[in-house]
């Protein structure tokens, strides 16, 4: 966060305290009931037509071929800080109603390397929250476009499409897409795909949500600077718009709620002994098992690998590593 050096510490504290107070809209709303998600089969078995030892059944895919995959990423909270926390009632309703990954681990600290790992399959040697450490490498959006699918990242409080830098509430380090040269340096492509969160309303209204959706709240709503209560209210309002829009398509979809990193150094899956902590990840979909907990060890690379498997894309970077498991247990 860049602040005017002339701003007094007392005034800064006053501004942040005021800004982090839940708005009247958020605090006065009751917890919304969950949308009804009607399970939709994503495969059918072809019956065996003749008595033979060779099966003609259609193979069951490891991951459903989702029409839409959305990822919403929050900030800097450990699994045990979030799950069971009465200040996040809506998040916990979702966690108990759909599928909760109980052993999902971030890659490292701080934020930026984790975001890069989600779409690039690597941290690219970046170990801090730099803003000028751009990467000339392939990323998930390249593969998505090659497959004929569409994508957008909706960045909360971003001043304009393809904005470079940070503001009081928008932090570039939470937007991995802007770091990849093939996206950022193609201005037309960048402005079309890296957009403010306010653009989502128009895309919902026109029924033009992309196949891949990546949402980053600003640093107040992500829990980076403010309370979990404020984060929970923001999430409820977003989901009240997004889930009905996805459900209306009649197609399989997946919404992933996750955190960039935890507060500890917990590790798994071939990561260094001190990694990015254990985080709470929820899978929401008509295709997931209800009230299910998956204790398989996963990493951010597992999310990338699972998306690739769903859409028949190549594995990027460490997503190809055997230690990073594909998420398979939750699907009906």
pLDDT-flagged residues of the chain (< 50) = 1-13, 15-16, 23-32, 38-51
Select from 91, 95, 93 the least CA-distant residue to 234: 91
> In this predicted structure, what is the pLDDT of residue 191?
98
Show Cβ contacts of residue 304 under 8 Å, excluding neighbours closer than 6 positions: 117, 118, 119, 121, 140, 315, 316, 319
Domains and CATH numbers, the chain: 67-294+315-320 (3.40.720.10)
> In this predicted structure, what is the pLDDT of residue 56?
61
> In this predicted structure, what is the pLDDT of residue 60?
84
How big is the chain, counted in residues? 332
> In this predicted structure, what is the pLDDT of residue 3?
41
Q: Helix or strand or coil: residue 256?
A: strand
> What is the Cα–Cα distance from 197 to 82, expressed in whole angstroms?
24
Pairing state of beta strands 194-196 and 292-294? unpaired
Distances (CA, A) of 150 to 160, 169, 210, 243: 20, 27, 5, 18
């Amino acid at each position: 966060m860049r602040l005017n050096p002339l701003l007094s510490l007392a005034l800064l504290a006053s501004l942040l305290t005021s800004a982090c107070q839940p708005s009247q809209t958020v605090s006065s709303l009751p917890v919304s009931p969950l949308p009804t998600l009607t399970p939709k089969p994503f495969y059918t078995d072809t019956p065996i037509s003749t008595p033979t030892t060779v099966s003609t059944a259609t193979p069951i895919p490891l991951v459903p071929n989702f029409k839409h995959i959305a990822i919403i990423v929050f900030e800097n909270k450990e699994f045990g800080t979030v799950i069971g926390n009465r200040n996040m009632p809506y998040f916990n309703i979702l966690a108990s109603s759909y599928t909760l990954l109980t052993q999902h681990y971030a890659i490292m600290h701080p934020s930026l390397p984790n975001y890069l790992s989600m779409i690039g399959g690597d941290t690219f040697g970046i170990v801090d929250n730099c803003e000028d450490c751009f990467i000339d490498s392939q990323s998930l959006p390249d593969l998505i476009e090659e497959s004929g699918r569409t994508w957008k990242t909706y960045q909360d409080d971003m001043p304009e499409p393809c904005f470079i830098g940070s503001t009081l509430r928008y932090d570039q380090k939470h937007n991995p897409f802007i770091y990849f040269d093939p996206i950022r340096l193609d201005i037309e492509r960048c402005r079309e795909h890296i957009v403010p969160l306010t653009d989502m309303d128009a895309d919902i209204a026109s029924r033009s949500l992309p196949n891949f959706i990546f949402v980053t709240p600003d640093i107040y709503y992500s829990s980076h600077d403010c309370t979990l209560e404020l984060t929970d209210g923001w999430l409820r309002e977003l989901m009240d718009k997004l889930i009905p829009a996805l459900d209306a398509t009649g197609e399989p979809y997946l919404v992933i709620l996750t955190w960039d990193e935890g507060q500890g150094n917990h590790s798994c899956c071939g990561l260094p002994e001190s990694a990015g902590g254990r985080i709470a990840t929820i899978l929401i979909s008509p295709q997931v098992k209800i009230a299910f907990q998956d204790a398989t060890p996963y990493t951010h690379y597992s999310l990338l690998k699972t998306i690739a498997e769903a859409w028949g894309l190549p594995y990027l970077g460490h997503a190809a590593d055997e230690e990073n498991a594909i998420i398979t247990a939750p699907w009906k």
